[in-house]
Amino acid sequence: MSDAPAQTTPEALPVSLLTGFLGSGKTTLLNRLLKHPGMAKTAVVINEFGEIGIDNDLVEKSGEDVVLMSSGCLCCTVRGDLVDTLRSLYIRRAKNELPPFERVVVETTGLADPAPILHTLMADPFLVTRYRLDGVITTVDAVNGAGTLDRHAEAVKQAAVADRLVLTKPDLADQERQAALLARLARLNPGAPVRPVIAGEVDPAVLFDAGLYDPKRKTVDVQRWLNEEAYAGAHAHDHHGHDHGHDHAHGPGAGAGQDPHDVNRHDAHIRAFCMTYDRPFAWSTVAIWLELLATYRGEDLLRVKGILNVDEAPGPIVIHGVQHLFHPPVALPDWPSADRRSRLVFITRDMDRATIESMLTALDRPVEAGGSAA
């Protein structure tokens, strides 16, 4: 965890990660997106052109490693390391060797764990100052999605870390099956809106701009990005004070997302919840807390998003972590609203709220007069 908050970089190019398990309709969705005029000024980075079957009549011009689509967007393959691919795209854009794209979409393989790609975007020194993570878009099959979640932990993780969930083939699934899957996804990841899509037909505008920065308003939109109301609405939270002066939102003892009727399901191990605190923290306390969580339980810390009231800062500090890695914290110049409480959204695996809270409580315990909080 960084010692000091960084500043916002809204001019950085937004990157969206498109993921989804094998057979979930990700290929169909991507093919349709490549045809949409709303994808103009977008660079799409995929694993292999052949995997998505680009139609020849969609291609206006092709080069050795970049294809210009009739929609106006660029399409290129991952040549070796993703860092090298994104670095090359950015440099060629700066040299006017490529059309001036304004967005990047990275498509993963169906079996991929999205975490390493998120880590790349959050940690590489070149990329972190030139690109910013906009969001994770995950496709889920309405017909076979429940079975896929049962059998494959990777599919559960893809859905758990998503900012947008695309429910594919809803026209082929009976209503009872679809309703059960939607309820399951809501428990697994209550903060991600679900968009039913038939044959990949969707306006790109509903999938993108899910990040902290809202390009339409040219400002930071914490409420939309954090969406903590979804967690309060999905699970009954009790608010009560503690002797250290914080007000916490507590969920059911079993943890959000856990299904007591089938503990063998992969998503029965996933918990999603929001923690709220009334009074400011010392930045050192927060930094140590998050570093300890990432060091000792990083594999189970699937995603963390939050806005913090910190003693040393005039405005809020925004944090974002994926497993053992946290993006450099962002210092906002002003609070987005009159609500100045710290709010943190957690999606975890086999890690309950009490464990996370107890660690923070121990670090934030007031000391005797004449000292300061840890």
DSSP SS3 for 135: strand
The verdict on 293 and 346 lying in the same domain is yes
The verdict on 11 and 94 lying in the same domain is yes
DSSP 8-state symbol, 203: -
Residue 61 lies in a domain: yes
How does DSSP assign 212-229, residue by residue?
SEETTTTEE-HHHHH-HH
The verdict on 272 and 310 lying in the same domain is yes
Residue 15 lies in a domain: yes
Identify the domain containing residue 256 by its residue range.
Answer: 238-363
For residue 267, what pLDDT is reported? Answer: 85
For residue 240, what pLDDT is reported? Answer: 33
With tokens 């859905």, the residue in question is 159
pLDDT digit of tens for each residue in the chain (374 aa)?
Answer: 544 444 445 578 999 999 999 899 998 999 899 889 999 999 999 876 656 666 555 555 556 578 888 788 888 888 778 999 999 999 999 999 999 999 999 998 777 788 988 998 888 999 999 999 999 999 999 999 999 999 999 999 999 999 999 999 999 999 999 999 999 999 999 999 999 999 999 999 999 988 887 776 667 788 888 888 888 755 443 333 333 334 443 333 333 334 444 555 778 889 999 999 998 999 999 999 999 999 999 999 999 999 999 998 889 999 999 999 998 888 998 898 889 999 999 999 999 999 999 988 888 765 333 333 33
The verdict on 108 and 141 lying in the same domain is yes
For residue 63, what pLDDT is reported? Answer: 60
Q: Are 82 and 127 in contact (CB under 8 A)?
A: no
Q: Which of 38, 83, 43 is nearest to 67 (CA)?
A: 43
With tokens 């570093």, the residue in question is 291
| Distance between CA atoms of residues 224 and 207, nearest Å | 13
| Distance between CA atoms of residues 234 and 190, nearest Å | 6
| Distance between CA atoms of residues 151 and 260, nearest Å | 18
For residue 58, what pLDDT is reported? Answer: 57
Residue 1 lies in a domain: no
Count of domains forming the chain:
2
For residue 249, what pLDDT is reported? Answer: 38
Residue 372 lies in a domain: no
The verdict on 139 and 249 lying in the same domain is no
**Residue 42, φ and ψ in degrees, nearest 5:** -120, 135
Angle separating helix axes 353-363 and 283-297, nearest 10 degrees: 140
Residue 21 lies in a domain: yes
For residue 59, what pLDDT is reported? Answer: 57
For residue 127, what pLDDT is reported? Answer: 93
The verdict on 127 and 269 lying in the same domain is no
The verdict on 210 and 347 lying in the same domain is no
pLDDT > 90 in the chain, percent: 54
Residue 230 lies in a domain: no
The verdict on 243 and 111 lying in the same domain is no
The verdict on 251 and 337 lying in the same domain is yes
CA angle 294, 193, 226 (to 5 degrees): 45
Q: Two tokens at 197?
A: 């899509």
Residue 221 lies in a domain: no
Angle separating helix axes 175-188 and 153-160, nearest 10 degrees: 70
CATH of the domain at 297: 3.30.1220.10
The verdict on 28 and 79 lying in the same domain is yes
The verdict on 110 and 65 lying in the same domain is yes
For residue 46, what pLDDT is reported? Answer: 87
Residue 225 lies in a domain: no
CATH of the domain at 20: 3.40.50.300
The verdict on 258 and 327 lying in the same domain is yes
